[in-house]
Amino acid sequence: MSAEPEFDRDHTRTIVEAIADRLPGDWLLIGGGLVALWLDVDRTTEDLDIIGIAGCDDPRLRLLELADDLGLPIETLNSAADFFVRRVPGWDTEIELLHGATKGAMGRVFRPTPTLFLLFKLGRLSDQDLADCQCLLDRVEQDQLPLDRDRVRAALKKLPPTEDTDLTDRRAQLLQRLN
């Protein structure tokens, strides 16, 4: 059995460029691949969470065909995240161009705004998710990026209570950082 690929910044960049160059339409990159590309040069991930913005099955099939063409197991380009993306009201107005729109490119790859990035991470908020949120907040402060702190704080406070004390602590850490 072969080892699963691990995506670092360079590998992620190669895949994002291939998507923009070879697949028509608009795509949204979220998760660890985005963190590696945008926020943390040392971050790696087992798969890339990328979805077709149009939300239909044809782009998903093209994405899987591209993975196969690149010699990757198809599950390493994960489009199942669209379920979670579409649960955030107004998500489609909270994206920014990451790659594409250049001469010869067929498609474009977008990333979430800092606000949307945090909203995506809140539900699970694992240790890695909290670390990713901390990296994002560092970037927001460093580059003076817009962030709707009130919206994120409100969403964080609306989460259902949990008996997981570690999760409760992570939520409190994030809330404190947002204040």
Evaluate if residue 102 carries a pLDDT over 90: no
- pLDDT tens for 143-179 read 999 999 999 999 999 999 999 999 999 999 999 999 9
Q: pTM to 2 decimals?
A: 0.88
Q: How far is CA 23 from CA 63, 94, 111, 112, in A?
A: 8, 22, 17, 20
- Give the pLDDT score at 92: 93
pLDDT level of residue 87 (50, 70, 90 thresholds):
confident
- Give the pLDDT score at 177: 97
- Give the pLDDT score at 55: 66
- Give the pLDDT score at 3: 59
- pLDDT tens for 142-151 read 999 999 999 9
Q: What is the rounded average pLDDT for all residues in the chain?
A: 91
Is 114 in contact with 136 (CB distance < 8 Å)?
A: yes
Domain residue limits, the chain:
9-112, 117-178
Count of other CB atoms within 10 angstroms of residue 70 = 15
In whole angstroms, give the CA distance from residue 129 to residue 49.
14
- Give the pLDDT score at 81: 81
Evaluate if residue 1 carries a pLDDT over 50: no
> Mean pLDDT across the stretch 72-100?
88
In whole angstroms, give the CA distance from residue 52 to residue 63.
9
- pLDDT tens for 116-152 read 999 999 989 999 999 999 999 999 999 999 999 999 9
120 burial (CB, 10 Å; 0-12 / 13-18 / 19+) is: buried
